[in-house]
Amino acid sequence: MDRPGQARIAQLRLPPSPQAGAPCVVGYSGGLDSTVLLHLLGGDRATQGAGLRALHVHHGLHAQADAWAAHCEATCARLGIPLEVVRVAVDRRAGLGLEGAAREARHAAFAAHLRAGEVLALAHHRDDQAETFLLRALRGSGVDGLAAMRPWRAYARGWLWRPLLGMPRADLLAHARLQRLDWIDDPGNDDPGLDRNFLRHHVMPHLQARWPHAPAALARSAGFAAAATDLLDAGDDAALAGVRRAVDLLDVAGLLALPATQRARVLRRWIAALGLPPLPAHGSACIEADLLDARPDARARFDWHGARVQRWRDLLHAGPLRTPLPRDWRATWDGRAPLRLPTGDTLELLGADGFDHEVIAHARRGGERLRLPRRRHDHALKHLLQDAGVPPWQRERLPLLSAADGTLLAAGDRLCSATLASWLDARGARLQWTAVA
């Protein structure tokens, strides 16, 4: 290496954290990249003073995994940096491939162990960014996906920071050699069966042989996509606010008034804001064809990965798939303590010590009838719930209360019979049904 190059590498510096003064935790695998990051942060007095620790995720996928964890412990002990080793189980049946499943397990561990306000520092560099851009392009990603990795974003209870994202791996390697750092070489990084490794070892060298600045150009394109995404996001946020009727409800007419391309983006943004799994590639098209154009009473729905979007009247509702109340469930209840339902929901009697006589809590089975206050006759519960605007995702979990003789007294806290309503009013009491979030 020439002297100017040595001077540049010797002066390798991290950009300042956007969250100055926040404690930092390094995702430390023991490999080259995270080793450089650990030493750079460990050598910064301000970072050390704010609180610096490291987290090593033990996947257990390699025979040397225990030795790698021991290496990380020894390195951190020499540097005086606290280290936590977290063992995870990688779900090989998740349909994500080994690489994707390991990444999911790793991020779940990071999210679970990141403390409030902490900054998680990961060692992705410019070459990683270029590879991610290519992988996303090969999967047909839109501008959001082509934005690849962001240098800074909200994450779990804190933040995620990638301070090396603008640096080529060659600079990190030169720095590590110059500083005589010790790191782990994972043989899994040479497996061409993994998509990223195939790009790294068989595609990128050919691209760089013809276009030496290919990694930098691809990473720059990712940056342009990120800037475009930010602009689109601002418009999508405004559009989402205009069609949102509640956190989990969107107005169908308002959605249909948006351009189709923006409608798809607004749907994805809504789903993400609810913390639901990302819509699959065909999700927006299915919602467009099967839900937005459906009759208001069609009960159309789209399910994916434990989540559901469904049409109800002139609204779209999204949420996790919830287990209905079992049809054969029954329990006696005196009202003295909250009643925990099989679904995890609770039913409480507030403002009174208990009922005069035990009631029977049970699930809907169909055909129930209820006489409301100031009504001369009873009516089908199904129609009363519809008239009261109780949506279907609540109806299927709604607990009913009946007297010992079978007379229906209440449907959760949504509807009360004339008899029970009179009893509650006389005591200033009420029922409260609380559904799990």
Model confidence over 305-327: pLDDT tens digits? 999 999 999 999 999 988 899 99
Q: Quick check: 7 pLDDT over 90? A: no
Identify which of 320, 336, 334, 240 has the alpha carbon closest to the alpha carbon of residue 277.
320
Identify the band that residue 11 occupies on the pLDDT scale cut at 50, 70 and 90. Answer: low
Q: What is the tens place of the pLDDT at every residue in 410-436?
A: 999 999 999 999 999 999 999 999 988
Tell me if 269 sits within 8 A of 259, measured CB to CB: no
Statement: residue 265 has pLDDT above 50: yes
Q: Locate tokens 């391309």: which residue?
A: 261
Query: CA 163, CA 174: separation in Å to the nearest integer?
Result: 17
Question: Structure tokens of 356?
Answer: 């005069």
Tokens in use for 436? 């799990």
| Region 257-271 average pLDDT | 93
195-227 residue pLDDT tens:
889 999 999 999 999 999 999 999 999 999 999
pTM of the model: 0.69
Name which of 139-143, 147-151, 156-160 the model is least confident about.
139-143
At 156 the three-state DSSP class reads coil
Q: Which helix (H) or strand (E) holds 320?
A: strand 315-320
Question: Would you give the end-to-end CA distance of the chain in angstroms?
Answer: 59
| AA letter at 357 | H
- Reply yes or no on whether the pLDDT at 336 is more than 80: yes
Contact partners, residue 256, CB within 8 Å, separation at least 6: 263, 292
Query: Residue 94 — pLDDT band, cuts 50, 70, 90?
Result: low
Residue 416, pLDDT score: 95
Of 399, 335, 408, nearest in space to 362 by CA:
399
